[in-house]
Structure 1
Amino acid sequence: MPRLHALELVPDDAGQDAVRRDWQRLRDAGLPSQLDHDAPTNAPHVTVVSAPYLPDEALDVAHARLGALLPIRARAAGLLVLGGSRVTIARAVDIDDDVVRRALAVRVQVPDRQHVGWLPHVTLARRVDRSLVQQVLDAVGHEDVVLTLTELRRWDPEKKFVTTIAQA
């Protein structure tokens, strides 16, 4: 599978700290955590779209439609378990309908995008053995986290580089 380019909404420092506390709780419990992914560009984020290639039109639409809304208030609420025998654990992100409509307007500009529709979320851990799900849920708890999304960025896996598209 090719490495995927992505457009991501990134929370402010307080939101990043809140998500990183979840990551740390998992690590402290000896469980998989996004902290295990030690790349310098690894930061809590909500992926708008990911694909093998992001056309310039999609970046332009993202800048105009989503960048204009920054900062965006959202709530990381319930927990999601995504996948098969090895799962991704994430916090679902409740976000305003206008943001959803604008994100979908960006997504339709991207051929070969990963996944249909949009399920906004913040990933806490990947490749978790399904037998550990209850331990993960116990470690992170159920407390909602308010996020203020202040940056729209592009991840380029080939260059291993992040570019800010818009910022509050």
Structure 2
Amino acid sequence: MRTVELLPDDRLDAHVRALWRRLRDAGLPSLAGHPHPTNRPHLTVVTAPALDVALPLPLPLLAEVGPVRFLGRALVLEVAATDGLRAVHAACWSALDDAWPGPGEWLPHVSLALNVRPSQRDRALRELGDVRPVRGRFTAARSYDTRTRTVTGLPG
């Protein structure tokens, strides 16, 4: 599988990494400890079996990240679904065969921690309870290949 991911500007990247460190320093699950060299803050737009067409990625795109919430067992920063982001998602979903999620299922977010145990949920939310939305831009795009565990830059 291949992803289409948007990468934040330096300010948003630093904001997310600071939250990763706060969670880690509090002894909670965090992507700060994820050892893979491709680990970095990102917004996944779609996942598809292949990327075999040029994608419309009109970058930069305005972004507002926050507040903190859970999506299943993942602790995430919500990303405001602006008209620009929705248009990029719809265009990528339409251009790629078997892309997921569809427009009605997509919940834009940037992950902070995966597999947070139920017993850690309240503590994680308290730890990041002061986080307010932050504005910036998505300035670059990439694709992650789940088979080879490599990334490729995408034109935008």
Q: TM-score, normalised by structure 1?
A: 0.83
- With 116-125 and 138-147 compared, the bigger mean Cα shift is at 138-147
Q: Establish whether residue 131 from structure 1 lines up as the match of residue 119 from structure 2.
A: yes
2:26 corresponds to which of 29, 46, 50: 29
C-alpha separation in 2, matches of 1:74 and 1:47: 13
Aligned to 2:50: 54
C-alpha separation in 1, matches of 2:78 and 2:19: 14
The amino acid that maps onto 1:110 is: L
Structure with a larger share of its residues in strand: 1
C-alpha separation in 1, matches of 2:33 and 2:6: 21
Aligned to 1:90: 76
Aligned to 1:162: 151
Query: Contact 1:74–1:146 at 8 Å: present in 2 too?
Result: yes
The verdict on how the C-alpha distance between 1:24 and 1:91 changes in structure 2, with shifts beyond 3 A counting, is same
Query: Contact 1:15–1:148 at 8 Å: present in 2 too?
Result: yes
User: How far 1:135 moved relative to its partner?
Assistant: 0.9
C-alpha separation in 1, matches of 2:40 and 2:19: 13
C-alpha separation in 2, matches of 1:35 and 1:5: 23
User: How far 1:21 moved relative to its partner?
Assistant: 0.4
> What number of residue pairs does the alignment pair up?
153
Flag structure 1 segments of 5+ consecutive residues without an equivalent: none
User: How far 1:156 moved relative to its partner?
Assistant: 1.2
The verdict on how the C-alpha distance between 1:108 and 1:130 changes in structure 2, with shifts beyond 3 A counting, is farther
User: How far 1:96 moved relative to its partner?
Assistant: 2.2
Q: Establish whether residue 6 from structure 1 lines up as the match of residue 12 from structure 2.
A: no
The amino acid that maps onto 2:90 is: L
SS of the residue aligned with 2:125? helix
Q: Establish whether residue 103 from structure 1 lines up as the match of residue 89 from structure 2.
A: yes
The alignment's C-alpha RMSD in Å is: 1.6
The amino acid that maps onto 2:38 is: T
Aligned to 2:109: 121
Aligned to 1:74: 63
After TM superposition, which residue ranges in structure 1, 4 or more long, deviate above 4 angstroms? none
Query: Contact 2:93–2:100 at 8 Å: present in 1 too?
Result: no
User: How far 1:114 moved relative to its partner?
Assistant: 3.7
Percent identity of paired positions between Structure 1 and Structure 2: 36
Cα deviations by residue, 1:45-92 (Å, 9 ceiling, x for unpaired): 0000123x12312xx1x2xx22xx211121102222112xxx001011
Aligned to 1:140: 128
The amino acid that maps onto 2:25 is: D
The amino acid that maps onto 2:115 is: R
C-alpha separation in 2, matches of 1:155 and 1:88: 19
